[in-house]
A and B are shown apart, each in its own frame.
Chain A
């Protein structure tokens, strides 16, 4: 009887939040999704009752293959490269700093505070500071001059130089090849476990895909009519630096807590067995930090995927070389009045972020009942 009453009370307490969540999160996600399948009034997008036609996936098709949406594709590439470098650098730097701070060190508190401080700033402030630092005629470019060396003339956030260039036409082929390879690998793994049926189901289609892609079958699948090169804009280096400066203190704190959480007995046991400090680090401490790396990747990854304010503050809305889909979404929607296309970009961003978050939530929910 008591539990029944408790449950009722709990339900009542949760109901308002659930209702609000349903409307303001899931309802609006649904609304955005719906808008992305329409043409929303075309020219008269701001009319009181805009003419709305259902156009299916047309907005998405344009984003990936329309001639005018070349900027979206470069922004997407920018975002993926930015995420990759930002997450890798934050993890590397954070781990390095945490390892250094973990040793007995005078003034540890001081260093910890200094390294964590950038995180207390908002991205807008960070962006403004780094915008000054990365001015081509000032900031870091004149640093070498202080010691008598020639000034740098790198155009930090505005250079049009690109590395890792690839042709957008090759993307579908490469994706299919990738999927094929993964399927083949999974098939081989199943074969080794002597699950012949599963191996066949995965391996054979995989092999077909790989062969098809390798023999040039995907060449007819070009997304755009002409060759379209995209790559990593070197202008993003400055953005990655600023973002890493802000967030590496956070990974440091995570790793430091992780290192401190490892029982001393483990290290002592390893030392008794004759492990060198390097071996203790490599075989005892690092593996135990894995869950921390995972959560850091999730947190940093979703920050990177939806980054907006840092770049807006650092380079403004129209500097396309450092632009990302979130900025393009803002411009498309609120400056260009193309609500439907803006909604499509928003939906794609949501998809990307959920590809990162949902597996994490699922895995942590699975673990929960074991407790």
Chain B
């Protein structure tokens, strides 16, 4: 039976002859809500390769704070897992690729024809001139504005298309005792900053910022900090003590009108809170970013010295397949990066996001590791603290420029 399944499912792979054996250790921070989606992938893998013993090495902790520390001690100690979860893009490239710790997966892309089914803009973000470094499993969108349609009607406001429009609406909302935009802890402030900055700069200049073609102290970026400062005036005072879920709750409970968050918020509202997509909650591209898809992606790569290379390649090959992605993403609440994914398997929000994925300009997220390396991201949290304390665009811009120079942004 197993042989039959293998023969039907993976005709292309050379290693998928049912002879694959040994172990496969998968290192990730997918626990809790995301656990079942990973389990489903592992189940599928075990069906395909019954000879391989899969070790699910999950280290809990939001966005991998703990997992990344564990991973680093393991890699430095010469005990790499077979494959590990990592935010696609510079978080991987600026950390592990730069250190020559990853294998180029370009041959896998050629062999599986992924270049044809993945958007070129995505592949650019995953690559350097030396190769393509990971296989993206999912895509999340980070530039989404969330609201409750009925509440907006009650307050007599519409969804803002630009930040200027938002600032006008915000005064009106504040007069009614409503927080115009709910905000959470430090990283959600980074997330909001990125949304404002992309709106002010536009996709080309945003990319130029990361290539070093646009200075952090340029007037455009200063303008972004200024706009961000204005928007911040309309957020809740207790932001720093709220998680992103609590900030979303403020919108759901009618204390706040809008929230900018990634589209995992859709999963939270529809699955955890039981709201109906489109009716119970509504969404739009965050102000000034319609036609732009700010993406982040979880991906897996192949570390140099992976103890079970063959089994890992089989895992990566499966991850990139349309079938595995359509098993994983509806459960995780994300979409598949593949342009040929089966949209009937996704919910209302997912279908809308997948449409946008196919029709928008794709840019990478800063807050979620696509465009900047870990060192920059870590120090950017301090830049944000400087701004939140001083509210001085020039001070923040100077600090960001210094951080970029130290972190080697723009000298790729």
Binding site for B on A (CB under 8 A): 41-48, 50, 67-68, 70-71, 134-137, 155-158, 160, 315-321, 330-332, 334-338
- Residues of B within 8 Å of A156, CB to CB, are 241
- Residues of B within 8 Å of A160, CB to CB, are 388-389
Cβ-based interface call for B75 (8 A): yes
Tell me how far the C-beta of A52 lies from the nearest C-beta in chain B, rounded to whole angstroms. Answer: 13
With most chain A CB atoms within 10 A of its CB, the pick from B68, B76, B241, B398 is B241
Contact A46 B381, beta carbon cutoff 8 Å: no
Q: In the complex, A155→B185 CA distance in Å?
A: 13
Asked whether A71 and B382 contact (CB < 8 A) given A43-B98, A46-B99, A337-B375, the answer is: yes
Q: In the complex, A48→B377 CA distance in Å?
A: 23
Contact B373 A46, beta carbon cutoff 8 Å: no
Complex partner residue of B386 from A45, A70, A136, A335, CB under 8 angstroms: A70
Q: In the complex, A50→B99 CA distance in Å?
A: 8
- Residues of A within 8 Å of B76, CB to CB, are 46
* Interface SS of chain A: loop
- Residues of B within 8 Å of A67, CB to CB, are 398-399, 402
A-B contact list, 20 entries, CB within 8 Å: A43-B375, A43-B407, A44-B99, A46-B75, A46-B98, A46-B99, A50-B99, A67-B398, A70-B386, A136-B238, A155-B240, A157-B240, A316-B185, A317-B65, A318-B186, A320-B385, A332-B378, A336-B375, A336-B378, A337-B378
Within 8 A of A (CB), among B269-315: none
Asked whether A155 and B237 contact (CB < 8 A) given A43-B375, A44-B99, A47-B101, the answer is: yes
Lowest 10 CB-CB distances: which A-B pairs, in order? A336-B378, A318-B186, A158-B240, A47-B99, A334-B69, A136-B238, A46-B99, A320-B385, A335-B378, A158-B241
With most chain A CB atoms within 10 A of its CB, the pick from B382, B386, B389 is B382
Cβ-based interface call for B162 (8 A): no
- Residues of B within 8 Å of A334, CB to CB, are 68-69, 72
Tell me how far the C-beta of B130 lies from the nearest C-beta in chain A, rounded to whole angstroms. Answer: 14
Q: In the complex, A228→B187 CA distance in Å?
A: 25
* Interface SS of chain B: helix
Complex partner residue of A335 from B68, B99, B388, B399, CB under 8 angstroms: B68
Q: In the complex, A265→B101 CA distance in Å?
A: 73
Contact A47 B100, beta carbon cutoff 8 Å: yes
Q: In the complex, A28→B382 CA distance in Å?
A: 29
- Residues of A within 8 Å of B378, CB to CB, are 331-332, 335-337
Complex partner residue of A155 from B69, B241, B377, CB under 8 angstroms: B241
Contact B399 A68, beta carbon cutoff 8 Å: yes
Asked whether A71 and B385 contact (CB < 8 A) given A47-B100, A318-B187, A337-B375, the answer is: yes
Q: In the complex, A160→B65 CA distance in Å?
A: 25
- B69 to chain A: closest residue by CB: A334
Complex partner residue of A45 from B69, B99, B237, B377, CB under 8 angstroms: B99
Complex partner residue of A321 from B95, B187, B240, CB under 8 angstroms: B240
Contact A136 B241, beta carbon cutoff 8 Å: yes
Cβ-based interface call for B403 (8 A): yes
- Residues of B within 8 Å of A158, CB to CB, are 238-241
Asked whether A48 and B240 contact (CB < 8 A) given A336-B378, A336-B379, the answer is: no
Cβ-based interface call for B406 (8 A): yes
- B98 to chain A: closest residue by CB: A44
- B65 to chain A: closest residue by CB: A317
Cβ-based interface call for B96 (8 A): yes
Q: In the complex, A336→B99 CA distance in Å?
A: 14
Contact A320 B382, beta carbon cutoff 8 Å: yes
Q: In the complex, A157→B238 CA distance in Å?
A: 10
Contact with A along B379-412 (1 / 0, CB 8 A): 1011001101100000000110011001110000
Known: A71-B385, A315-B241, A320-B382. 20 other contacts (CB 8 A): A43-B375, A44-B98, A46-B99, A46-B101, A48-B99, A68-B402, A68-B403, A68-B406, A70-B386, A136-B238, A155-B241, A156-B241, A158-B239, A158-B241, A160-B389, A317-B65, A335-B68, A335-B69, A335-B378, A336-B374
Tell me how far the C-beta of A225 lies from the nearest C-beta in chain B, rounded to whole angstroms. Answer: 12
Q: In the complex, A148→B48 CA distance in Å?
A: 65
Cβ-based interface call for B94 (8 A): yes
- A42 to chain B: closest residue by CB: B408
Q: In the complex, A217→B240 CA distance in Å?
A: 42
- Residues of A within 8 Å of B72, CB to CB, are 46, 334, 337
- Residues of A within 8 Å of B240, CB to CB, are 155, 157-158, 319, 321
Contact B375 A338, beta carbon cutoff 8 Å: yes
Q: In the complex, A71→B378 CA distance in Å?
A: 12
Asked whether A48 and B100 contact (CB < 8 A) given A155-B241, A334-B69, the answer is: yes
- Residues of B within 8 Å of A45, CB to CB, are 99
- Residues of A within 8 Å of B385, CB to CB, are 71, 320
Tell me how far the C-beta of B394 lies from the nearest C-beta in chain A, rounded to whole angstroms. Answer: 12
Q: In the complex, A334→B373 CA distance in Å?
A: 13
Contact B241 A337, beta carbon cutoff 8 Å: no
- B255 to chain A: closest residue by CB: A137
Complex partner residue of A137 from B238, B382, B406, CB under 8 angstroms: B238
Complex partner residue of B65 from A48, A136, A335, CB under 8 angstroms: A335
- Residues of B within 8 Å of A331, CB to CB, are 378, 381
Q: In the complex, A332→B381 CA distance in Å?
A: 11
Q: In the complex, A331→B379 CA distance in Å?
A: 9
- Residues of B within 8 Å of A330, CB to CB, are 69
- B73 to chain A: closest residue by CB: A334
- Residues of A within 8 Å of B381, CB to CB, are 318, 320, 331
Q: In the complex, A12→B114 CA distance in Å?
A: 64
- Residues of A within 8 Å of B100, CB to CB, are 44, 47-48
Contact A46 B406, beta carbon cutoff 8 Å: no
Within 8 A of A (CB), among B43-69: 65, 68-69
Contact B96 A319, beta carbon cutoff 8 Å: no
Q: In the complex, A48→B76 CA distance in Å?
A: 7
Within 8 A of A (CB), among B183-217: 185-187
Tell me how far the C-beta of B102 lies from the nearest C-beta in chain A, rounded to whole angstroms. Answer: 11
Q: In the complex, A47→B403 CA distance in Å?
A: 21
Asked whether A135 and B99 contact (CB < 8 A) given A43-B94, A46-B76, the answer is: no
Contact B375 A319, beta carbon cutoff 8 Å: no
- B382 to chain A: closest residue by CB: A71
- Residues of A within 8 Å of B406, CB to CB, are 68
Q: In the complex, A157→B242 CA distance in Å?
A: 11
Contact A337 B101, beta carbon cutoff 8 Å: no
- Residues of B within 8 Å of A134, CB to CB, are 241
Tell me how far the C-beta of A347 lies from the nearest C-beta in chain B, rounded to whole angstroms. Answer: 19
Complex partner residue of A68 from B96, B373, B379, CB under 8 angstroms: B379
- A157 to chain B: closest residue by CB: B241
Tell me how far the C-beta of A129 lies from the nearest C-beta in chain B, rounded to whole angstroms. Answer: 15
Q: In the complex, A334→B64 CA distance in Å?
A: 11
- Residues of A within 8 Å of B239, CB to CB, are 158
Q: In the complex, A160→B72 CA distance in Å?
A: 33
Q: In the complex, A156→B241 CA distance in Å?
A: 9
Q: In the complex, A42→B407 CA distance in Å?
A: 8
